[in-house]
Each structure stands twice: as structure tokens, then as C-alpha cells.
């Protein structure tokens, strides 16, 4: 009896390696130092700037209200469109296979500027449908194109939140109860299904709106040529095409406006986006909610939104010269050769290096923060602070980085890397934190009871369950950093071009073939990295803004 | 014996396939109005599947289902659940989390087009009747399991269904409610004149609630008869094992129903049919002793085989003790090619 009591009393003290005082202190120091340097300092500088010169900021805004107006209009129209489409697709795909789900999630995986470029190749003048049927999407360069692309690009958010709710909740049983109570299919949908999905729809709408307001790639590719500038492209124009103090002040003002626009939504998200419980694994009864017809419509949607544009881009990349028919006789690899030589290969190297460094740093910091967030209120506080840069638009983070570090680091890879760590830290923390939350101390205790020391117990008891989450965190951070455009387009210098910036420059320079080849390479890398992530059950890791 | 009213539920040759697998085979079932049939079986036997087929939640592959004489499934017909006039009580309650108790109970009347105030009044009456009068404004997550299931029962009954379907309604409730609720459900069925189908895996619950107990295994009904009949005269060893504790021994059946051990016939013996410490009885050895509260259950080893015996009072013999026993009553299982138990 006495032996049992001693063993039991020892368990709490040895429950984890972090109960040892020194490593725990070290973790706190590392996390607080990094959060202060990488997150708090730049954001603080931005806020201080706003407080310091509110008059100048306001002046900049009054000078040109059209970017603000354009952003508001684009968000106001694209968000409801995205929510309606996402809801319909989620209901149709409830029992569909992983291929269709991956298809619907494609816009989240392929970077937005690549999607926009691909749409131009598919539905623009001299595009694929123009070649085949003479169809050209009217207004592709301008508000119509921006709004449509923002909407389909945001569809994965409501799709993912609604799918998760359908999977986790007992929706089906609750609907059966309503059927048995005498409600027909339509009445069940309006009185039971929709109210049940309301939180998921709200979360999806917020994510879609934040994504649409923050996106830079789409308005950059199809908005700027049509003189439809949004806040993000206005910031880019202010910083890239002029170097005077006035335009920098204007950029700061726009960034603050964007912040104000997005902040309330981002704050609401914290309450809304609580991931529902894991699927109950209950018996799946009956066939899908939608029949063959619904599934074909979903496939048609995927084809129109992603399939045809990506195919068109591949064809353009393969066709020897722009304007030739995209037939095998005209195929060659010259564009791909151009894509991987000279400045482009340097840019590719920069992006790989940045993405690897950011992924490594974010995984380590994310893991440490996840441990702290599970242990104390202060840790959770730190977690919220670190989530801020991801919720805010990339343009805002870039401006904050310029304010904080431009003096010694102007135009270096380091400043881009620091901004990436700030932005993607929380992205790595989330899957690791979720995995940690699912671990029970009994796994650790079982290993200790079997005679393992603290480190070994951790290695045997917890690491096997944490490893997939760490891999997911690393992969996610790598992909996001690899094709990141918004931040790098504002921070790059002559010696620190990233691949996304190279694509944008090639597009703006009118080099369609090389742009297409680069876009195809980017899309392939993103897809390869994303497949294991989408395959995993935690689709919620994708419901962040990009 | 009075004349039976016409069956409100008629299943003829019903077969159901789920995910390409046959779950129910050629199944017949009748439930008369005002009567309750319990579907008893282990999990996976097809009880809930049959219930879902009657409710209209899943289609049937073959056969037909009639409710009140009306063909609702089979022969090319399929009437959706909302037009079958059924009430369903779910194992996990299935109460809509976004509605109040009052709204949930009134829902079946509202969706059928009843005036709002009338539906509200009826809902209040039902809530009062089931002892939920104070809870009308609450939401489901503010109720205990037993209260939630009573709300589920009120919702199922308020629109006066012709058939009440209960899918293991007590599975998530504590022991006291497990004995209370089945009785309430039975009373309501009798009062309303609906036909009741009650799915359970607990034999004592099935006996309490039902006029007829249908024992299911692997998608087939092995026996359907009154509770006492199924308990005392099971059609097979499987039915005997599914309906309570039983031992199977070789013996001879005497004309008075008692048994002589050992012998040549396969007999089923319920534990309470065995008398202990009987002069001139069969000599047996106590292998195991379990106190059950209302008595003591002994596992005995004898020449006739292993025998379970239940006697009133506290344990009188310990393991290893010798005791003489007699089988006061036994049932000769019908001969059939079956090896189980």
C-alpha cells in the first residue's frame, strides 16, 4: 500500500519535462522575447504612428476615398456570394469523396494571384474559351473580375466551416426528428438545418470577408489593369511607384483603414471559430443529401472555377509563343526553361530558403507557445497576441515591418523572414496546440509507470501523437511562406526578390509565357504540399486567412 | 382472449441493405393499435434498422410496410417520414439545440399548420402531463437526460401519431429512470391507441414495456411472443441467452415440468428454477458466488453440466462447498441444428 501511495504522489511532479523549473523558464523567456521583438514591437510602432500623426493619416484618406470604397463594395458583394456557394457545396459534398472536396478547396491551396492569372488565361480575351467558343468574361479586368474571383477564392472558408459543423454535429439525426415531426424537406432546411448551421455560416462569412478585404493578389492581377484599386493595391502603388514621404504616409493611412475594417471581424472570429468537437463516427445512413444532379453541379463548379483556368495556364505555359493555338505541334518547354533560369531561379532560391527558415522557426516557436498556452492564462494571452498578425492583412504587417526594421534591414531577406515568422507563428501553433489538447497525461504516466524517465516517457508517450501535427504545421507554414506575395511585394529589394514577386513582375511586364510557367510551378508545389494536409481529418487548419 | 384489433404496423418480407450489405432479411412483423412490440437483440442485430425503415428514414430493398393499412414502403411506393404519422423517440434525444422546450414540443403541430396559440396550449398541456411544466422556457442543454427524453416523448406524441417508434430511449439514462420511463411510454401508448415499437437490448426493459417481444438476431426475427412465453419457452438457445440468464443442461423432463438430471435431452433452466439444499437432490459443487441484492447467484458444477441457481437471501455457501440441488422447472429446447451459447 505504501509503495502505491509514493508512486502516486510522485506522478504530478514528473508529469512533463516542463515541470522542471529551468526549461520552463527558458521556454517563457524565448516565447516572450520573440513575441515582443517580432509581433509586439512592429504592431506597436504602427499604432504609435497612428496616434502620433492622426491628422496626416486622415488627410491621406480624404485625398483618395476610392480604394476604400472599392474594397467595401468588393467585400459586400463577394462575401454573401461566397457564403451561399460554400453552403450549397458543403451540403452537396456531405458524403462526397476526397477528390471533390480537394477540388472545392483548390482556391485555398493555389495562391490567389495564380488563380487570378489562370482566370485571365481561361476567360480573358485570347484566352482558352475565347479560342474554343469565342466566350470572353465581360469586365474580367475591373470590378466584375475582382469581385467574382474574391468570391470563389473565399468559398473554401464557409465550405470548410459548414462541412465541419455537418460532420461534427448530429445534424442528420436532428433533421430526422423534424421529418418525423411532420416537416417536409424544405421546412426541415429552414427550421432546423439553417439555424443549426448559423454559427458555422457566421464564422465562414467573417473569414471570407477578412480574406476578401486583405487579398492583394487578385486585385493586383485583374484590378490594377482595369484601374479598380483596392486598399491593398493602393498601398502597393504608394510604396512601389513613388518614394516620397507623402505616399508613405498615405500607405500607412490605408493600412490603418484596412486594420479598422478587418479588426472587428477578426475579433468576432475568436468567439465564432471554435472548432466543433471531433466527428462522432456514428453510422452513416442513407445516400448523400444531394443526388447525382447535385454532385455533377459541384464538379461543374470545380471545373469552371479551378479546372479550366489551371488547364488554360498549363497550355499557355506549354505553347511556344503567345497567340499560337495550344496544340501539341506548338508545344515546347521554352517557358519552363525561362522560368528556372536567371533572376527567376534566384527568386526561387530565395523563396525556398525563406519558407524553410520560416517553417523551422514557426514550428519550434509554435510548439513552445502551444505548451505555454495549455499551462497558464498568461500563455493564452501570448497566444492571442501572436494570432494578431495572421488575422490582420498582409499589407498591414508589411507596413509595420517597414516602420520597425527598415533602418538596418531595408530590402533584405531578413526583414521578409521576420515578417513571415510574425505572420505564420500562429499557423504552426494551432495544429500542435490541437494535438496537445487531445493528449491525455495517462499516456505519459503509463510510460513512467513502466519505468521510463521523463524524457523517454515523453518520447514514447507523446511524441508519436505530436509528430503528425508538427509535420502538418511545418508543411502549412512552408506552403504559405513559399507562395506569399503581399508581404514580400512590399518588402523586397533588389537582392531579395521572391518567386511570387517574380511572377507578378513577369505578369506586369506582359511576359505571359514565363508567368504561366512560373504559375504552374507554384501551383504544383502548393498542391503537392497540400494533398497530405487535406487528406488529414483536420480540415480546420485550412480555415485561416491567407 | 379478446379479438385482436387490426394491425397498425404490418411488415411483410422486409429486406434492407445498407452500404451494399444485407441488414434485414425477409422480415415479418405485426403491431396492433394500442399494443407495444419490443424489438430485443444485441447491437448490430438490425433492431434500429427496422425502426428506421418503419419511420421512413431509410428505404427498403424488398417486401412492404403498411401503416394503418396504407402502403408506405415497397411495391414502388415510398411515403416520406413526415407523411407517415409516426412519432419517434431517439436514443440521443435529438432535441433541436436552437429551440426552447416549448418550441420543440409545439413544432410538430406548427409545421402541420396548426394555429400558433392552439399549438402553444397543447404543448403546455403535454409538458404539464409529463412533469415538465416549469421547464418550458429552457433550452435542451439546460435539462437532465431524463428531462430531455421526456421532452422527446412529448414531441413524439403531441401530433397524435398512429405509430410511436422508440429507439433505445433509456440507453443514456441512469438506473432509476431506466425503470421509470418505459412504464410511462407504455401508459401513453395504451392511452393514445397508437401502435408502439420499442427497441432495446435489455430483456427486463422489453418485458416491462411490451405486449409482444420480438427477438432479433442477424436481421431475422427468431421468436415473437408474449414476454412470459419468450422467457419461459424460448424457441432456441440464442433466444434463451438474449432474454436473460439461463443454463443449458442434459436431463429428462418429468410430466410435472421438473427435470431429472442428468439425462439425454437439452434443457434450458432459468436460475430461479433451481432449488438448493434439497434432500436427495443432485450433488453439485459451488464454483462461484455473486450477491445480487435481491438474492444470491451461484454457479454450480454438476454431472449434468454447469448450472446457474438463484436463491433468496445472503450467500449461504462459499466457493468449493458441496450442495445438493433440484431443478423444479425446465424447458426442453426445440431440436434444431444450432450451436450457440
| DSSP conformation letters of B290-315 | EE-SSSEEEEEEETTEEEEEEESSS-
Please tell me the distance from the alpha carbon of residue B295 to that of residue B298, in angstroms, as a whole number: 10
A-chain CB neighbours of B56 within 8 Å are: 179
Same domain, B37 and B153: yes
Same domain, B221 and B321: no
Q: Is some CB atom of chain B closer than 8 A to the CB atom of A183?
A: yes
Please give the share of chain B, as a percent, with pLDDT higher than 90.
Answer: 72
pLDDT at A279: 34
pLDDT at A266: 65
Please tell me the distance from the alpha carbon of residue B163 to that of residue B84, in angstroms, as a whole number: 9
pLDDT at A63: 56
Total Cβ atoms within 10 A of residue B51: 21
* Low pLDDT (below 50) residues in chain B: 1-2, 4, 338-341
pLDDT at B187: 92
| CATH number, domain containing residue B262 | 2.40.50.140
HEC string of A481-507 equals: HHCCCHHHHHHCCCCCCCHHHHHHHHH
Same domain, B70 and B108: yes
Last residue of a domain, one of B236, B259, B285: B236
Contact A182 B82 (CB under 8 A): yes
**Residue A357: its H or E element:** helix A342-375
Contact B107 A183 (CB under 8 A): yes
How do residues B80-105 score in pLDDT, each as one tens digit? 999 999 999 999 899 998 899 999 99
Total Cβ atoms within 10 A of residue B63: 20
Please tell me the distance from the alpha carbon of residue B106 to that of residue A179, in angstroms, as a whole number: 14
Q: Would you say residue B313 lies in a domain?
A: yes
Across the interface, of B19, B86, B96, the residue whose CB is closest to A180 is B86
Residue carrying C-alpha cell 437432490 = B281
Same domain, B225 and B255: no
Q: What is the DSSP string of A302-327?
A: HIIIIIHHHHHHHHHHHBSSTTS--S
CA distances from B201 to B38, B92, B223 (A): 10, 15, 15
Give the residue among A162, A156, A170 at the shortest CA–CA distance from A202: A162
By CB atoms closer than 10 A (0-12, 13-18, 19+), residue A263 is middle
Mutate to test the interface with A, among B50, B59, B92, B159 (most CBs of A within 10 A): B92
Mutate to test the interface with A, among B84, B98, B163 (most CBs of A within 10 A): B98
Restricting to B residues 274-313, those with a Cβ less than 8 Å away from any Cβ of A are none
CA distances from B73 to A314, A507, A509, B63, B78 (A): 52, 62, 67, 8, 5
Q: Give yes or no for a contact between B198 and B38, defined as CB atoms under 8 angstroms apart.
A: yes
C-alpha grid cell, residue A355:
519558407
Instruction: Please provide the average confidence, as pLDDT, over all residues in chain B.
Output: 90
- The count of residues in chain A is 546
How do residues B237-247 score in pLDDT, each as one tens digit? 999 999 999 99
Q: Is some CB atom of chain B closer than 8 A to the CB atom of A259?
A: no
Same domain, B23 and B158: yes
Total domain count for chain B?
2
Please tell me the distance from the alpha carbon of residue A395 to that of residue A490, in angstroms, as a whole number: 7
Same domain, B134 and B212: yes
* Distance of alpha carbon B88 from the chain centroid: 16
Residue carrying C-alpha cell 403541430 = B109
Strands B296-302 and B305-311: antiparallel
Residue carrying C-alpha cell 472545392 = A104
Contact A182 B156 (CB under 8 A): no
- Give me the helices (H) in chain B, please: 47-55, 101-111, 116-129, 145-157, 175-192, 203-209, 227-232, 237-242
* Distance of alpha carbon B166 from the chain centroid: 10
Same domain, B14 and B131: yes
Contact B107 A198 (CB under 8 A): no
Q: Would you say residue B338 lies in a domain?
A: no
- What is the SS3 assignment for A138? coil
Q: What is the DSSP string of B235-302?
A: SSHHHHHHTS--EEEEEEE-TTS-EEEEEEEEEEE-GGGEEES-TT-EEEEEEEEEE-SSSEEEEEEE
Q: Would you say residue B210 lies in a domain?
A: yes
Q: Is some CB atom of chain A closer than 8 A to the CB atom of B171?
A: no
Angle subtended by helix axes A112-123 and A512-535, to nearest 10? 120
Q: Would you say residue B19 lies in a domain?
A: yes
Q: Give yes or no for a contact between B259 and B267, defined as CB atoms under 8 angstroms apart.
A: yes
Q: Would you say residue B1 lies in a domain?
A: no
pLDDT at A20: 53
Q: Would you say residue B147 lies in a domain?
A: yes
Distance from CA of B170 to the nearest CA of A (A): 17
Distance from CA of A278 to the nearest CA of B (A): 17
Strands B163-167 and B195-200: parallel
Q: Is some CB atom of chain A closer than 8 A to the CB atom of B266?
A: no
Q: Would you say residue B341 lies in a domain?
A: no
Question: How many contacts (CB atoms, under 8 Å) link A and B?
Answer: 73
Same domain, B160 and B292: no
| CATH number, domain containing residue B78 | 3.40.50.300
Strands B163-167 and B296-302: unpaired
Strands B212-217 and B36-40: parallel
- Domain extent for B280: 245-331
Last residue of a domain, one of B236, B263, B298: B236
Restricting to A residues 149-178, those with a Cβ less than 8 Å away from any Cβ of B are 170, 173-174, 176-178
Same domain, B161 and B276: no
Q: Is some CB atom of chain A closer than 8 A to the CB atom of B169?
A: no
Q: Give yes or no for a contact between B60 and B53, defined as CB atoms under 8 angstroms apart.
A: yes
pLDDT at A61: 56
By CB atoms closer than 10 A (0-12, 13-18, 19+), residue B259 is buried
Q: Is some CB atom of chain A closer than 8 A to the CB atom of B82?
A: yes
Last residue of a domain, one of B201, B236, B271: B236
- What is the SS3 assignment for B6? coil
A-chain CB neighbours of B100 within 8 Å are: none
Predicted model pTM: 0.79
A-chain CB neighbours of B19 within 8 Å are: 284
Please tell me the distance from the alpha carbon of residue B124 to that of residue B142, in angstroms, as a whole number: 18
Q: Is some CB atom of chain B closer than 8 A to the CB atom of A410?
A: no
B-chain CB neighbours of A173 within 8 Å are: 90, 92, 94
* Low pLDDT (below 50) residues in chain A: 1-18, 272-288, 537-546
Contact A183 B92 (CB under 8 A): no
Give the residue among B44, B42, B46, B48 at the shortest CA–CA distance from B340: B42
Mutate to test the interface with A, among B21, B47, B78, B90 (most CBs of A within 10 A): B90
Please tell me the distance from the alpha carbon of residue A26 to that of residue A33, in angstroms, as a whole number: 10
User: Which residues fall within 8 angstroms of residue A346, CB to CB, at 6 or more apart?
Assistant: A497
Same domain, B158 and B30: yes
- What is the SS3 assignment for B62? strand
Taking every pair of Cα atoms in chain A, the longest distance, rounded to a whole number of angstroms, is 87
Same domain, B120 and B223: yes
pLDDT at A269: 60
Q: Would you say residue B336 lies in a domain?
A: no
Same domain, B251 and B186: no
Amino acid at each position: 500500500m505504501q509503495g502505491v501511495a509514493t508512486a502516486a504522489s510522485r506522478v504530478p511532479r514528473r508529469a512533463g519535462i516542463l515541470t522542471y523549473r529551468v526549461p520552463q523558464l527558458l521556454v517563457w523567456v524565448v516565447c516572450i522575447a520573440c513575441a515582443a521583438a517580432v509581433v509586439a514591437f512592429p504592431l506597436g510602432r504602427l499604432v504609435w504612428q497612428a496616434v502620433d500623426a492622426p491628422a496626416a493619416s486622415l488627410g491621406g484618406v480624404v485625398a483618395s476615398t476610392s480604394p476604400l470604397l472599392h474594397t467595401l463594395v468588393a467585400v459586400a458583394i463577394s462575401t454573401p456570394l461566397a457564403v451561399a456557394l460554400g453552403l450549397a457545396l458543403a451540403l452537396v459534398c456531405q458524403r462526397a469523396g476526397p477528390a471533390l472536396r480537394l477540388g472545392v478547396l483548390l482556391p485555398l491551396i493555389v495562391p490567389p494571384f495564380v488563380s487570378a492569372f489562370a482566370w485571365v488565361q481561361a476567360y480573358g480575351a485570347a484566352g482558352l474559351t475565347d479560342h474554343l467558343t469565342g466566350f470572353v468574361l465581360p469586365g474580367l479586368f475591373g470590378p466584375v473580375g475582382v469581385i467574382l474571383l474574391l468570391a470563389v477564392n473565399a468559398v473554401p472558408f464557409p465550405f470548410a466551416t459548414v462541412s465541419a459543423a455537418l460532420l461534427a454535429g448530429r445534424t442528420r439525426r436532428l433533421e430526422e426528428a423534424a421529418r418525423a415531426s411532420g416537416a417536409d424537406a424544405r421546412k426541415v432546411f429552414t427550421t432546423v438545418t439553417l439555424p443549426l448551421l448559423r454559427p458555422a455560416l457566421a464564422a465562414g462569412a467573417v473569414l471570407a470577408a477578412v480574406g476578401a478585404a486583405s487579398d492583394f493578389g487578385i486585385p493586383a492581377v485583374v484590378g490594377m489593369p482595369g484601374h479598380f484599386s483596392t486598399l491593398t493595391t493602393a498601398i502597393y502603388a504608394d510604396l512601389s511607384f513613388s518614394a516620397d514621404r507623402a505616399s508613405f504616409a498615405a500607405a500607412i493611412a490605408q493600412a490603418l483603414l484596412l486594420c479598422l475594417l478587418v479588426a472587428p471581424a477578426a475579433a468576432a472570429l475568436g468567439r465564432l471559430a471554435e472548432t466543433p468537437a471531433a466527428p462522432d463516427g456514428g453510422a452513416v445512413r442513407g445516400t448523400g443529401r444531394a443526388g447525382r444532379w447535385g454532385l455533377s453541379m459541384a464538379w461543374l463548379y470545380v471545373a469552371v472555377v479551378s479546372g479550366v483556368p489551371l488547364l488554360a495556364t498549363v497550355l499557355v505555359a506549354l505553347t511556344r509563343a503567345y497567340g499560337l493555338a495550344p496544340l501539341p505541334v506548338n508545344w515546347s518547354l521554352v517557358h519552363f526553361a525561362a522560368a528556372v533560369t536567371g533572376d527567376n531561379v534566384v527568386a526561387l532560391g530565395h523563396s525556398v530558403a525563406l519558407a524553410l527558415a520560416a517553417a523551422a522557426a514557426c514550428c519550434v516557436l509554435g510548439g513552445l507557445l502551444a505548451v505555454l498556452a495549455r499551462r497558464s492564462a498568461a500563455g493564452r494571452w501570448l497566444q492571442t497576441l501572436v494570432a494578431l498578425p495572421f488575422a490582420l492583412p498582409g499589407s498591414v504587417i508589411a507596413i509595420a515591418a517597414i516602420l520597425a526594421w527598415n533602418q538596418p534591414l531595408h530590402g533584405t531577406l531578413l526583414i521578409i523572414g521576420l515578417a513571415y515568422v510574425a505572420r505564420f507563428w500562429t499557423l504552426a501553433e494551432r495544429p500542435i496546440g490541437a494535438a496537445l489538447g487531445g493528449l491525455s497525461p495517462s499516456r505519459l504516466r503509463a510510460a513512467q509507470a513502466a519505468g521510463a524517465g521523463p524524457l523517454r516517457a515523453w518520447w514514447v508517450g507523446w511524441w508519436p501523437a505530436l509528430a503528425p501535427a508538427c509535420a502538418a504545421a511545418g508543411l502549412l507554414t512552408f506552403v504559405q511562406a513559399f507562395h506569399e506575395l503581399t508581404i514580400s511585394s512590399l518588402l523586397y529589394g533588389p537582392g531579395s526578390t521572391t518567386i511570387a514577386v517574380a511572377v507578378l513582375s513577369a505578369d506586369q511586364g506582359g511576359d505571359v509565357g514565363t508567368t504561366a510557367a512560373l504559375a504552374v510551378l507554384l501551383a504544383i508545389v502548393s498542391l503537392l504540399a497540400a494533398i497530405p494536409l487535406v487528406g488529414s481529418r483536420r480540415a480546420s487548419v485550412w480555415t485561416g486567412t491567407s | 382472449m379478446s379479438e385482436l384489433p387490426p394491425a397498425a404496423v404490418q411488415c411483410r418480407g422486409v429486406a434492407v441493405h445498407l452500404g451494399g450489405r444485407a441488414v434485414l432479411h425477409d422480415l415479418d412483423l405485426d403491431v396492433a393499435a394500442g399494443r407495444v412490440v419490443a424489438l430485443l437483440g444485441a447491437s448490430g442485430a438490425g433492431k434500429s434498422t427496422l425502426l428506421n425503415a418503419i419511420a421512413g428514414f431509410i428505404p427498403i430493398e424488398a417486401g412492404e410496410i403498411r401503416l394503418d393499412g396504407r402502403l408506405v414502403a415497397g411495391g414502388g411506393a415510398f411515403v416520406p417520414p413526415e407523411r407517415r404519422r409516426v412519432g419517434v423517440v431517439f436514443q440521443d434525444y435529438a432535441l433541436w439545440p436552437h429551440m426552447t422546450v416549448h418550441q420543440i414540443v409545439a413544432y410538430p403541430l406548427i409545421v402541420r399548420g396548426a394555429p400558433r396559440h392552439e399549438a402553444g396550449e397543447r404543448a403546455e398541456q403535454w409538458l404539464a402531463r409529463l412533469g415538465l411544466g416549469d421547464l418550458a422556457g429552457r433550452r435542451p442543454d439546460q435539462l437532465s437526460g431524463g428531462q430531455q427524453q421526456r421532452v422527446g416523448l412529448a414531441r413524439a406524441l403531441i401530433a397524435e401519431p398512429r405509430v410511436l417508434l422508440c429507439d433505445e430511449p433509456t440507453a443514456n439514462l441512469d438506473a432509476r429512470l431506466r425503470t421509470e420511463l418505459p412504464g410511462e411510454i407504455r401508459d401513453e401508448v395504451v392511452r393514445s391507441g397508437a401502435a408502439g415499437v420499442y427497441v432495446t437490448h435489455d430483456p427486463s426493459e422489453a418485458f416491462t414495456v411490451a405486449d409482444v417481444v420480438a427477438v432479433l438476431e442477424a436481421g431475422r426475427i427468431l421468436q415473437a411472443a408474449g414476454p412470459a412465453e419468450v422467457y419461459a419457452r424460448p424457441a432456441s438457445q440464442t433466444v434463451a441467452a438474449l432474454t436473460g440468464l439461463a443454463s443449458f443442461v442434459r436431463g429428462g423432463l418429468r410430466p410435472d415440468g421438473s427435470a431429472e438430471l442428468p439425462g439425454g435431452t437439452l434443457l434450458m433452466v432459468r436460475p430461479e428454477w433451481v432449488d438448493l439444499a434439497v434432500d436427495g437432490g443432485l450433488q453439485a459443487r459451488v464454483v462461484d458466488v455473486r450477491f445480487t441484492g435481491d438474492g444470491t447467484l451461484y454457479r454450480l458444477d454438476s454431472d449434468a453440466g454447469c448450472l446457474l441457481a438463484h436463491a433468496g437471501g445472503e450467500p449461504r455457501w462459499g466457493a468449493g462447498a458441496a450442495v445438493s440441488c433440484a431443478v423444479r422447472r425446465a424447458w426442453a429446447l426445440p431440436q434444431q441444428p444450432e450451436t450457440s451459447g
